[in-house]
A and B are shown apart, each in its own frame.
Chain A
Amino acid sequence: MQKKSIVSRGYLLVLVGGMLTGMGNGSVFGIALMSFLGRGGFPDWGGWYGLAYDPHTFSGFIDWCMIVFGMAYVVILSTALVRHNALENAQG
């Protein structure tokens, strides 16, 4: 019988794998939404350095979509693995 759960042994894998998986989907969602909403004034383009992570800017909003989707996928993957861990331990 395993002493530690799947998630506790693979938390780094869940974190990196989940963020990567979610961020790809978040970039598609963010682009689609911002292309639909359209651009604002020039200061809103959000290119230089920290502005790219300011959610009030065009680029920054999409980057935040990626981060939020990434965190959501970490939660989804963790939840799934917690349940699989319970099932596999129940089977002995």
Chain B
Amino acid sequence: MLKYLMARNEDIPPGSAAVYWGYSSIVWFVIGTGLGAFNAAKLAFPDFVTGLEFLSFGHMRQVHVMAVIFGWISMAFGMTMMYMTPMLGNTRLWSEKLGVWNAFLWNVGLSLGLTVLWWGMNSGREYSDFPWFIDLYVLLFMTIPLGINVWMTIIHRRTQGIYITNWFFGAGTFMVSIVLLVGNLPEYFHLTGLTEAYLTWWNAHNILGLWITPVGAAIGYYTIPKITGNPLYSHRLGHLHFWSIVVFYSTPASHHLMSAPLPEWLKSFASVEGVLILVPAIAFVSNILMTMQGKWNMFVENLEVKFTVTGCLMAIPLNMQGGFQQTRAINWYIHGTGWIVAHAHLALLGFSTFVEVGAVYFGLQTIMRKKLWSLTLGNLHFWFLLVGFTTYWVSMTIAGLIQGAGKIYEVPYIDVVIAEHPYMIARWLGGSLVFMGNCVWLFNMWMTARAGTVIPAGRMAHELAYER
């Protein structure tokens, strides 16, 4: 792949950038979940690996979070954008060379950023942990070039309209750059106090609300109609989803700071806007489920559909939790507990990941013209991910409820720690299953590239029977 860095744009085969992004994302997924499982082991067994500063939980947590957000999730987004945007515009990617360079610089920047975090140099701001010079790199060499390629491909499309997926891709790449620019202002200008707190959570909230969840949904709008052969149930519902996200979900942030001395009107405003997330959520879920009409056999037969629809089902509790967790009463109970950690994983490791995995499976087979090497390993990957994630999520949710009750009942902290211990072990087991599943996935995709059956011209990957 590196040979294309110096090649002329015309000499780079279409889809090369997408393949580079796709395999990078899988490798980062293995690394990110491996780090997560390691961190979970430290919470379950406090004497596990002690005495090494760079392996302490305080150093490792940020590395795990950033590896997953910018490595797995964002690179899988980049992969889908590299192949879905041109396909939906009936054209080629605007610049295959920019795509390849973008993936290369993304990997270099992320490796650099994680190394810096590992050394203990960070901003001290959750979800924007990178120091300022890495933040600038992320903006200039990672998100803006991605946005340019996506936007220029949409502008040079050869179709009359813009399909809903490309609406989200165009807006998502634009919004994430704005979020990273504004959200990191406290680091560039040394803003402190409430301003820093507000901007920190504006950044954290919008990376999830304007990047990870909407782009994840956009991928579902492509994958399900493409594989089932059904047209999208309603383009209008898709537009309702898009505009309600942009209008309702770009403003909340103070709902992360309900106990902070921010103006009360601001917290109430954020709370109401937060509940309104149910509008785009219901629009998305109903649109996808209605698109499945007449093709529900594929829910149990087709690996990509299985991943995508399961992810879509996870969007229901995700948004129900997300919509109501920042109302004052519920927030009072669960704030600062493992319930929030479970919810964050429902967004990233549940909904978004399942939809993305389906799209990466489908995309890599389609671009490389190679049938998936092993359905058995694919199914194993699915079940490792689903059972591992469910174990993790259920145990963390219940542990969070116990922590919340402990807070209300003013139970001594150490007693809450003792009560939580079984759930920390379950969390580690669940996380380890996810990590093992991803190792299986990496092997399966490696074998697909090397030994997958060639897909004949004019056929699609899912139309061919599996061989093993």
Contact = CB atoms under 8 A, between A and B. Distances in A.
A35 B405 contact: no
Interface string B275-307: 000000000000000000111110111000010
A77 to B, nearest CB: 8
Q: Interface extent on A, as a size class?
A: 35 or more
Nearest to A32: B330
Contacts of B151: none
Contact of B297 (A6, A16, A58): A6
Nearest to A91: B294
Contacts of B301: 9
B297 A52 contact: no
B299 A10 contact: yes
Q: Interface extent on B, as a size class?
A: 35 or more
Contacts of B317: 20-25
A47 B415 contact: yes
Interface in B287-335: 293-297, 299-301, 306, 310, 313-314, 316-318, 320-321, 324-325, 329-330, 332-334
A21 B386 CA distance: 12
Contacts of B324: 28, 32
B411 interface: yes
B406 A45 contact: yes
B335 to A, nearest CB: 11
Given A23-B394, A81-B296, A13 B401 contact: no
Interface string B372-405: 0000000000000011001001100110011011
Interface string A10-35: 10010011011111110110111011
B390 A16 contact: yes
B312 to A, nearest CB: 10
Interface string B415-445: 1101100100000000000000000000000
Nearest to B332: A35
Interface string A47-60: 11100100000110
Nearest to A85: B296
B386 A16 contact: yes
A47 B415 CA distance: 9
Contacts of A27: 321, 339, 397, 401
B391 to A, nearest CB: 10
B408 interface: yes
Given A28-B321, A52-B419, A45 B397 contact: no
B263 to A, nearest CB: 24
Contacts of A6: 296-297, 299-300
B265 interface: no
Interface string A63-85: 10010000000000100010011
A30 to B, nearest CB: 8
Contact of B300 (A13, A34, A44): A13
B189 interface: no
Given A47-B415, A49-B422, A39 B409 contact: yes
A31 B331 CA distance: 10
B346 interface: yes
Nearest to A43: B409
Contact of B310 (A2, A17, A30, A58): A17
A87 B295 CA distance: 10
Contacts of B333: 31, 34-35
B297 A24 contact: no
A66 B394 CA distance: 10
Given A24-B317, A27-B321, A47 B405 contact: yes
22 contacts: A2-B297, A6-B300, A9-B301, A13-B310, A16-B387, A17-B313, A17-B386, A20-B390, A25-B316, A27-B321, A28-B321, A28-B324, A28-B325, A31-B333, A32-B324, A35-B329, A35-B332, A39-B405, A44-B409, A59-B398, A84-B296, A85-B296
Interface of A: 2, 6, 9-10, 13, 16-17, 19-25, 27-28, 30-32, 34-36, 39, 42, 44-49, 52, 58-59, 62-63, 66, 77, 81, 84-85, 87-88, 91
Given A2-B297, A45-B411, A85-B297, 11 more contacts: A16-B387, A20-B313, A22-B317, A24-B397, A31-B330, A31-B333, A39-B405, A47-B411, A49-B422, A59-B401, A84-B293
